[in-house]
Amino acid sequence: MSDFINSFWPIYISVISAAGVFGCLLLLILTARKKVESAEDNTTGHVWDGDLRELNNPMPRWWMWLFVSTVVFATFYLIAYPGMGSYSGQLGWSQVGAYEKEVERAEAELAPLYASYNSMSAEEMSKDSAAMAIGANLFQNNCAQCHSSDARGGKSFPNLTDNDWLWGGNPEQIHATITNGRMGVMPPQAEAIGTPDDVRNLANYVLSLSGSPHDSAKASMGKDKFLVCSACHGPDGKGNQALGAPNLTDDIWLHGWGESLVIDMINNGKTNIMPPQAKENGGKLTPEQVNVLTAYVWSLSNKPNSAN
């Protein structure tokens, strides 16, 4: 694999590397050959401080061999390791390979530790401070970029510390979310509802479900239209975890609230994706890491770490 964007750069680098190494050798040979004119007494004729004279001796042998050995070393190095443009070296070493080996070693080291967690339930693990420390680390490295470092999420990224769940908060459901990811899909509903006024009335009815500020006259006119929504959000608006359809009665808003936002949701719908995190699905986490993370996420809304 080459990281170069075109064939000029590998050649450019190879030429400079080779010229550096063999230029040194050439310089050594040339200077060894050329005899500098010197006076009868083997001095260069330079005199300082009255009687300090510069001798015209050849370089010490040991120094020359040191010099030659660096050239030999460099040659073998460039054959063994990637140093000449896109040539990958006889030993097949690469930064990516070295990194992967390190990860493998770390995983092998941690394997017995993880194995001891495999037999524990999420609840038991949540009481194990070492397991929770690993979980917290994994969370910061893999989840915090979306769910924020305190796991409270943000607009369109759910809060994982409350007891409001799109897809369910028991360990099996959390495990499935982390392993396979989730895709929440609400198709646009405007056509099924009717005129913009109908949509506005319905939006006010939706706001009334959670006691959010709304116009109650409009809300009562919109109530009937909620039938369309109840297919996913349930007849009472309390949501459906099988579909990831949020509870609309709890005043917790994933995508923001207010009349215009709900109208927008009805008109345009929403697709919201959590990418799969398990290695088997293209993510980064081993099954053991998913287990520990499941317990960690579960613990965030279930008596958080107070047991120790």
Q: Which amino acid is at 174?
A: I
Nearer to ligand HEC, 47 or 227 (CB): 227
Question: Residue from 90, 145, 216, 220 that binds ligand HEC (CB under 6 A)?
Answer: 145
Q: Which of residues 228-287 bind ligand HEC (CB under 6 A)?
A: 228-229, 231-233, 243-246, 248, 253-255, 262, 265-266, 270, 272-275, 277
Regarding 132 and contact with ligand HEC (CB under 6 A), the answer is no
Q: Which stretch binds ligand HEC (CB under 6 A): 15-23, 44-52, 117-125, 159-167?
A: 159-167
Regarding 221 and contact with ligand HEC (CB under 6 A), the answer is no
Regarding 178 and contact with ligand HEC (CB under 6 A), the answer is yes
Question: Residue from 209, 297, 299, 300 that binds ligand HEC (CB under 6 A)?
Answer: 297
Copy the structure tokens of residue 87. Answer: 């040539």
**Minimum separation from the CB atom of position 220 to ligand HEC (A):** 15
Using an 8 Å Cβ cutoff, are 175 and 290 in contact?
Answer: yes
- From the list 159, 169, 132, the residue with the least C-alpha distance to 295 is 132
**Minimum separation from the CB atom of position 201 to ligand HEC (A):** 11
Residue 283 to residues 10, 90, 280, 295, Cα–Cα distance (Å): 33, 32, 7, 19
Q: Is 302 left (phi over 0), alpha (psi -120 to 50) or beta?
A: beta
Nearer to ligand HEC, 83 or 181 (CB): 181
Q: Is the dihedral of CA 239, 241, 244, 250 positive or negative?
A: positive
Q: Which stretch binds ligand HEC (CB under 6 A): 32-40, 79-87, 114-122, 163-171?
A: 163-171
Residue 305 to residues 116, 162, 187, 212, 302, Cα–Cα distance (Å): 19, 15, 39, 33, 8
Residues contacting residue 237 through CB under 8 Å, at least 6 positions apart: 206, 209, 226, 229, 230, 247, 248, 249
Regarding 187 and contact with ligand HEC (CB under 6 A), the answer is yes
Regarding 71 and contact with ligand HEC (CB under 6 A), the answer is no
**Minimum separation from the CB atom of position 125 to ligand HEC (A):** 14
If you ran DSSP here, which 8-state letter would residue 166 be given?
Answer: S
Structural element, H or E, at residue 272: strand 270-274
Q: Which residue is nearest to ligand HEC (CB)?
A: 184
Copy the structure tokens of residue 129. Answer: 């401070």
Regarding 185 and contact with ligand HEC (CB under 6 A), the answer is yes
Phi, psi dihedrals of residue 44, rounded to the nearest 5°: -85, -10
Question: Residue from 263, 293, 295, 300 that binds ligand HEC (CB under 6 A)?
Answer: 293
# residues near ligand HEC by CB under 6 A: 48
What residues make contact with ligand HEC under the rule CB under 6 A? 142-143, 145-147, 156-158, 160, 165-167, 174, 177-178, 182, 184-187, 189, 193, 202, 206, 228-229, 231-233, 243-246, 248, 253-255, 262, 265-266, 270, 272-275, 277, 293, 297
